[in-house]
């Protein structure tokens, strides 16, 4: 082969390589753009605002924290925000905290209670199905909020069948919410301090046989009304899954709104849509969604989320 044709061949090969490289880059950019568009197209402003900025990153591997499971505080190692507020994992919860704070500002403005103090933002946490990460997310968010000077947080375990907050935070199981609901007690009887001086807990109390009756009761309504006049900045309420029991709707209707936890790669979009529809029928205000357990990797300095499409568009 002559020198000229050899040079031409090399030139063509180089052109081909460059073309391929450009195509690859365009593909990645297009996917990123599509993901953005899907969020924009979404009918729900809440999903757009929240899902795009926080949900995707709430992910940890079970084995990651096994090493610290014997901590003398007895607080579950999954409550990463207690152990190190500056770890990369806590950073994700801090981002969540920032978004929740601005969401609360948007929905409540400077709403004053009867006592003249800022009334607490009361937010319910639920998910469509079991085991999607509601409790771990709510507890980490509560701890993260309470780690800010001057922010008082109350966490209520309204999963009267299966609540685990007392175990995660190593507080007594009783007296708790069920104790207060069943007896003639004031809500404060169920209040427990935690190792974070700004974080208080009302655990579930003794397991109740008919939680719906209690959670939908006049007493529950009264408790929340009383709590609106107390000096908490945030009250977070953990509940059972939406598609299994009515408990979460009953509670959410009495609060400022509901945040729905969605487990990525497991909970199908149609299931989340169903839960969203049921909430809307029950006139429950959905504040947003949090995606948990998402796998992601970082090619070239930006995130491209695995299976993003499935969750970004249809919720």
Residue 83 to residue 86: CA distance in whole angstroms: 9
Phi and psi of 269, rounded to 5°? -55, -35
Residues 225-259, buried b or exposed e (16+ Cβ, 10 A)?
eebbebebbbbbbbbbbbbebebbbbbbbbbbbbb
135 near ligand ATP (CB under 6 A): yes
241 near ligand ATP (CB under 6 A): yes
**The token pair that represents 89 in the structure block:** 């994992």
Nearer to Mg ion (CB atom), residue 49 or residue 248: 248
Say which entry of ligand ATP, Mg ion, none residue 233 contacts (CB below 5 to 8 A, set by partner kind): none
Helix (H, G, I), strand (E, B) or coil at 192: strand
78 near ligand ATP (CB under 6 A): yes
Please check whether residue 202 is in contact with residue 190, taking contact to mean a CB–CB distance below 8 angstroms: yes
203 near ligand ATP (CB under 6 A): no
- Binding positions for Mg ion, rule: CB under 5 A: 134-135
Q: Report residue 273 CA to chain centroid gap.
A: 17
Cα separation of the two ends of the chain: 60
291 near ligand ATP (CB under 6 A): no
Map residues 14-53 to x or -, x wherever contact with ligand ATP holds by CB under 6 A. ----------------------------------------
Say which entry of Mg ion, ligand ATP, none residue 307 contacts (CB below 5 to 8 A, set by partner kind): none
Nearer to ligand ATP (CB atom), residue 60 or residue 304: 60
When CB distances to ligand ATP are compared, the closest residue is: 133
Q: What is the DSSP string of 34-82?
A: HHHHHHHH-S-HHHHHHHTTTGGGB---GGGGGGGTT-TT---TT-HHH
Please check whether residue 134 is in contact with residue 127, taking contact to mean a CB–CB distance below 8 angstroms: yes
56 near ligand ATP (CB under 6 A): no
162 near ligand ATP (CB under 6 A): yes
Nearer to ligand ATP (CB atom), residue 12 or residue 244: 244
The CB-of-234 to ligand ATP minimum distance in angstroms stands at 18
Burial of residue 295 (number of CB atoms within 10 Å: 0-12, 13-18, 19+): exposed
Say which entry of Mg ion, ligand ATP, none residue 208 contacts (CB below 5 to 8 A, set by partner kind): none
Which residue stretch of 125-133, 141-149, 197-205, 266-274 sits at the interface with ligand ATP (rule: CB under 6 A)?
A: 125-133
Which residues of the chain form contacts with ligand ATP (CB under 6 A)? 58-60, 62, 78, 127, 130-137, 159, 162, 164, 241, 292-293
């Amino acid at each position: 082969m002559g020198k000229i044709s050899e040079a031409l061949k090399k030139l063509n090969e180089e052109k081909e390589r460059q073309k391929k490289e450009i195509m690859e880059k365009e593909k990645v950019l297009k996917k990123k753009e599509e993901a953005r568009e899907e969020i924009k197209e979404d009918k729900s402003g809440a999903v757009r605002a929240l899902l795009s900025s926080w949900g995707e990153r709430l992910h940890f591997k079970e084995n990651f924290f096994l090493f610290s499971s014997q901590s003398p505080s007895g607080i579950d190692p999954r409550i990463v925000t207690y152990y190190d507020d500056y770890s990369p994992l806590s950073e994700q919860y801090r981002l969540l905290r920032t978004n929740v704070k601005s969401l609360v500002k948007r929905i409540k403005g400077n709403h004053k209670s009867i006592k003249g103090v800022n009334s607490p933002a009361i937010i319910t946490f639920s998910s469509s199905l079991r085991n999607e990460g509601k409790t771990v997310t709510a507890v980490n968010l509560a701890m993260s909020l309470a780690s800010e000077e001057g922010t008082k947080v109350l966490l209520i375990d309204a999963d009267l069948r299966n609540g685990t907050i007392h175990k995660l935070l190593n507080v007594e199981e009783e007296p708790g919410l069920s104790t207060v609901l069943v007896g003639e007690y004031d809500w404060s009887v169920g209040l427990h301090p935690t190792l974070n001086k700004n974080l208080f807990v009302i655990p579930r109390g003794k397991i109740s046989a008919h939680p719906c009756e209690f959670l939908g009761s006049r007493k529950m309504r009264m408790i929340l009304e009383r709590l609106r006049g107390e000096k908490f900045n945030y009250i977070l309420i953990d509940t059972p899954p939406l598609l299994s029991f009515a408990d979460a709707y009953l509670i959410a209707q009495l609060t400022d709104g509901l945040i729905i936890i969605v487990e990525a790669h497991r909970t199908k979009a149609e299931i989340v849509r169903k839960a969203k529809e049921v909430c809307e029928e029950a006139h429950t205000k959905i504040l947003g969604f949090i995606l948990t357990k998402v796998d992601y990797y970082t090619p070239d300095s930006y995130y491209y989320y695995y299976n993003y499409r499935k969750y970004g568009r249809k919720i």
